[in-house]
Structure 1
Amino acid sequence: MTIEPGQDAPAFAMPTGGGGEVSLADLKGKQVVLYFYPKDDTPGCTKEAIAFTEAAAEFEAAGAVIVGVSKDSVSKHEKFAAKHDLGVILASDEEGTTCEDYGVWVEKNMYGKTYMGIERATFLIDEGGVVKQVWRKVKVPGHADAVLEAVRA
Structure 2
Amino acid sequence: MDLVETVIEEARWEGFGLPALAERAARAALAGLGLEASGFAIVVMGCDDARIAVLNADFRGKPQPTNVLSWPSEERGSDFAGEAPALPEPGPEDDPESLGDIAIAWETCACEAAEQGKTMEDHVTHLLVHGVLHLLGYDHVEDQDAALMEALEVRILASLGVSDPY
TM-score (norm 1): 0.30
TM-score (norm 2): 0.28
Computing the radius of gyration from Cα coordinates, the structure with the larger value is 2
